[in-house]
Structure 1
Amino acid sequence: MPHPTLHRTATVNGRKVFYREAGDPASPTILLLHGLPTSSQMFRDLMPALADRFHLIAPDYIGFGHSDAPPRNEFTYTFDNLAAHIAGLVEALGLSSYILYMQDYGGPIGFRLFTQRPSQVKGFIIQNANAYMEGVGDAPRKVLLPLWENRNAETEKPAREFVSIEGTRFHWLVGAKNPEAINPDNWILDQALLDRPGTQDYQVDLLENYKSNVALYPEWQAAFRQHQPKTLIVWGKHDPFFIPPGARAYLNDLPDTKLVWLDSGHFVLDENVAQVACEIKARFAPQHPAANAAA
């Protein structure tokens, strides 16, 4: 039987958080955490491919996708705050344990959840999400370092270009094996949301606040070493933002990790969804439920 993806909302700290849900809630849960400049829509093809084995929850952060997007004078856009609302969603949905799938911004949000409640996290699926300085490419350094050192109109310009239509299209197409296989709805729909009044202002706030993630890298790495979560890395090897040394760096702290290189860039699922789904099932659900019943 096919497993439909349902589109739901929950109220967390007085804000509406949108999430996609698929699969049987009795199955192991995967919490899918999206990146910039997109939303949970990046998982729309992956979720049906996993719903026969897993329960899937893919939220939109506050300010992203279909979740509430309050102006920056009503909500402080930091990674701590985004993570707090995802933690609140986990609590509202009664998720006692879950595997984290993290891409881009999903990394710093997911790793905050992990360090706060490591016993809840049963594994990592890491797709171009960074926790090591070795993984930061020249492209984000040029955009972010001047912003971190002295935010002003001049240092904001590259950050605003990062979330312009040109920047959003580049995020989706860079490193793609076949650009014609990448659905243009990705960047058109993402940009429509980014172009809402005031949205790019708080997106620049988040790019500035990204320095808080770098400051936490040592804490996250120590938690990896201590708790040793089962880990699968599926990494687009042509990503100019989070470069291959960042994927290999996890192996120093999580030596049992399986690392899969994909002939792709910052986003991988448009071209590699079947392979990614197979790798996830092999790592986290190696035996089909029907096989268990027959045993």
Structure 2
Amino acid sequence: MKTSYHTRKINGVEIFYREAGDKNKPTLVLLHGYPTSSHMFRNLINDLSDDFHLIAPDYPGYGRSEQPPIAEFDYTFENMSNIVKTLLDELDIKKFSLYLMDYGAPIGFRIASRNPDQIDTLIIQNGCAYEEGLETFWDPIKVYWGDINNKEAENTLRGFHSPDGLKWQYTHAVPDASVISPDNWEIDLRHLERPENGAIQLAMFYDYQTNVVLYPEWQEYFRKYQPDTIVVYGKDDYIFPGVGAEAFKKDLKNLEFHLFSTGHFALESFGSEMGALIKDFLLRKTGK
């Protein structure tokens, strides 16, 4: 079924989202990572829209959503999760599965752990809820957490969303980089080049430490509620390596586990394979 494109004012901010599929079918909410947008789900939405209802929002300051001035808006994971949950409430979506990727993981785990009865299933792709998953890539970020005025750390962080840094995120550890469309990082650059966006990305890097504090709470949610979960993960990701995927096995018993020999944006190189696994999983677990 065709994708439609919408905006809706949520907590005073114009939020862009993609929607596809029959609203009477099980809903899957797709939560994108840094530094991209709902564009990363364009192919997966097409693959799943005959069987499911899909919603993929852009966070404030990302993609096609509004970018409020940094002085007037809290660019934090807590606030992003509140925006997404309010959007779902206003769209009258009461039960849903969550696709959690990169930044989408801490945003979605906040929603899931606070609203466990609304969650059908979890789909985890290169996102973290265990400190084992925070390896070398995170060293300069941890320095920045300890000293927000550290210019060396700040310059390293800015480099991640420079044009070369973006291309690296999409192509690093990918078996055949020729299958990765350059449109990906060119589209990301559209919002990253907006005035103040660099400062917004730094604010989000700094705030990521609030997620680590919540890891024990999310792990307790896994143990207590045992949500049906599928891991579909690029195991060679330098940002969230495969060891972070393995960590979910500690607490999640209803877990299906799939690693792919690729990097961070695994959908770009193994989208059809991942889509088939996700479709099969959701058809079995959502019961419709």
**In the alignment, which residue of structure 2 is the partner of 1:34?**
32
1:255 is paired with a residue whose SS is coil
Alignment partners' CA distance in 1, 2:125 and 2:40? 12
Other-structure match for 2:273: 275
1:8 deviates by: 0.6
**Residue of structure 2 in register with 1:244 after alignment:** 242
- Gap runs ≥5 in structure 2: none
Answer yes or no: is the 8 Å Cα contact 2:144–2:206 preserved in 1: yes
Paired position in structure 1 for 2:187: 189
- Residue 69 of structure 1 pairs with residue 67 of structure 2: yes
* CA shift for structure 1 position 101: 0.3
Match of residue 151 from structure 1: 148
Secondary structure class of the residue paired with 2:220 = helix
Which range is displaced more, 167-176 or 102-111?
167-176
Could you tell me how far 1:274 is from its partner in structure 2?
A: 1.2
Select 2:128's aligned residue among 126, 130, 153.
Answer: 130
Checking the alignment, whether the CA contact within 8 Å between 2:60 and 2:80 is kept in structure 1 is: yes
- Please report how far the alpha carbon of residue 165 of structure 1 lies from its aligned counterpart in structure 2 after TM superposition: 1.2
The answer on 1:111 being equivalent to 2:129 is no
Task: Please report the TM-score for the alignment, with normalisation by the length of structure 2.
Answer: 0.97
Secondary structure of the corresponding residue to residue 195 of structure 2: coil
Measure the CA separation in 1 of the matches of 2:7 and 2:79: 18
> 1:71, 1:199 within 8 Å by CA — same for their partners in 2?
no
The Cα of 1:243 is off from its aligned counterpart by: 1.0
Alpha-carbon displacement from aligned partner over 1:128-172 (angstroms, at most 9, x marks no partner): 0000011112012x2211100011151311111122112111111
**Per-residue deviation at 1:287?**
9.7
Identity among equivalent pairs (%): 40
Structure 1 runs of 4+ with >4 Å offset: none
Secondary structure in 1 matching 2:277: helix
In the TM superposition, 1:194-273 aligns within 5 A as 194-273=192-271
Give secondary structure in 2 for the equivalent of 1:44: helix
Cα separation, 2, equivalents of 1:243 and 1:288:
29
2:76 equivalent in structure 1: 78
Q: Secondary structure at the match of 1:231?
A: strand
Q: CA deviation at 1:286?
A: 3.6
Q: 1:195 is matched by which residue type in structure 2?
A: E
Residues in 1 aligned to 2:80 and 2:285: alpha-carbon distance in whole angstroms: 35
User: Structure 2: which amino acid aligns with 1:11?
Assistant: K
Rounded Cα–Cα distance in structure 2 between residues aligned with 1:229 and 1:196: 39
Which whole-Å deviations, capped at 9, do the CAs of 1:205-252 have from their partners, x for residues lacking one?
000000000010000000110010000000001101111111111111
Partner amino acid, structure 1, of 2:148: R
Q: What does residue range 10-49 of structure 1 map to in structure 2 within 5 Å?
A: 10-49=8-47
Question: How large is the RMSD of aligned CA atoms in angstroms?
Answer: 1.5
C-alpha contact 1:18 1:66 (8 A) present in aligned 2: yes
Instruction: Report the equivalent of 1:59.
Output: 57
SS of the residue corresponding to residue 9 of structure 2 reads strand
Partner of 1:173: 171
CA contact (8 A) 2:120 2:286 kept: no
Amino acid at match of 1:109: I
Report the number of matched residues: 287
Give the TM-score taking structure 1 as reference length.
0.95
Summarize the Cα distance change of 1:288–1:65 in structure 2 as closer, same or farther, 3 Å threshold. closer
Quick one: distance in 2 between partners of 1:43 and 1:102?
A: 12
Q: Cα deviation per residue 1:69-111 (whole Å; 9 max; x = unaligned)?
A: 0121111110001111001101110000000001000000000
